[in-house]
Amino acid sequence: MSAVANDTRAAGVRSGLVFALGAALSFGMSGAWARGLMDAGWSPGAAVTVRMWVAALVLLVPTLLALRGRWGTVRKNAGMIVVYGLLAVTAAQLCFFRAVAVMDVGLALLIEYTAPIAVVLWLWLRRGERPGAKGMIGAVVAFIGLVLMLEIFTGSRIDPVGILWALGAMVGAATYFLLSGRGDTGLPPIALAGLGLLIGAIGLSVAGTTGILPMTWNTQDVTYRFGTLPWFVPVLAVGVIATALAYVLGIVSTRRLGSRFASFVALSEVIAALLFGWLFLGQLPDLLQAFGGALVLVGVVLVKLGEPVVDEVDPEAVPEPVETLR
């Protein structure tokens, strides 16, 4: 029985790794697809809104199925769901897309991926949960990497407004980590994702209709490094593959790997974003930026290693998801 159990666990971990890498690849391409739309005349608000609606509609049926008999739980957590949809999902998405409109995709995502460090600092200031030595060292290493990556001391060519938008995406992602870490809601992860996307889509649509959020879009072909595509191809790609599919893969992988292990594998999303930024847009960081980006990743890993172990790898466990929704 022990050998069978070990084999089952090993199979779950192997398949979980496949799903996690699939999620990272899917999430990582979102910025590149969106940048092509924005270069073709789409506003960041329009690109995010369409992405939200496509993903929300794709996840609508799974969300309704997951919520059968649980609508009381939805009412009980209505406030948290609204905050999740507007801040952890919508604000993170909008800020990220506005960042990639004026700066390289990989750099914007690296800035956003300092979110775990922001979470550690928040918990320290808010709850008195002082980070350990690894966490402190990781935060310092990541900060040094961020300074090098942004070329602050070498005459930065990066739009400062883009940096601010990327930091806004980081705040949204940190909020996501904090809210998704709550295990007392009783909400299925896929249902929380579907409801968050739906609330975000409705909120962005209202903002666009009232003129608060500029909405510009067209049906012109979109040009990428490898060629020209009809406008609906990147729209469907960013909505179905880079959002709905990516999120489902992330949830499945987290259930099989556990949230701690899955969060490490999720760092490969940065590599995927750099890869797609080069393949789709011809964007590559220079040597100093690449070194700074590597330090950021090392710092985040140290911060994650400094966290207390709250779950183990268990194919049968169902922890909360830790993927950020790019």
The ranges assigned to domains in the chain are 16-216+242-305
Q: What does the pLDDT read at residue 306? A: 72
Q: What is the mean pLDDT of residues 49-59?
A: 93
Residue type present at position 207: A
pLDDT tens per residue across span 82-136 = 988 888 888 888 898 899 888 888 788 888 877 777 777 787 787 777 777 887 8
> 6: how many CB neighbours lie within 10 A of its CB?
10
Residues 6+ apart with CB under 8 A from 179: 80, 83, 84, 88
Contact (CB, 8 A) for 312 and 261: no
Contact (CB, 8 A) for 312 and 9: no
Q: What pLDDT band is residue 61 in, cutting at 50, 70 and 90?
A: very high
pTM reported for the whole predicted model: 0.77
Q: Could you tell me where the DSSP H helices lie in the chain? A: 2-28, 30-39, 44-58, 60-66, 71-76, 78-83, 92-100, 105-112, 115-127, 133-149, 160-180, 189-209, 232-236, 246-257, 259-265, 268-281, 287-305
Q: What does the pLDDT read at residue 318? A: 42
Q: Angle formed by the axes of helices 30-39 and 44-58, to 10°?
A: 130
The CA–CA distances, whole Å, from 182 to 88, 176, 189 equal: 13, 10, 11
Counting Cα atoms < 13 Å in the Cβ hemisphere of 157 gives 5
The angle subtended at Cα 46 by Cα 43 and Cα 49, nearest 5°, is: 150
Is residue 235 packed enough to be buried (19+ CB in 10 Å), middle (13-18) or exposed (0-12)?
buried
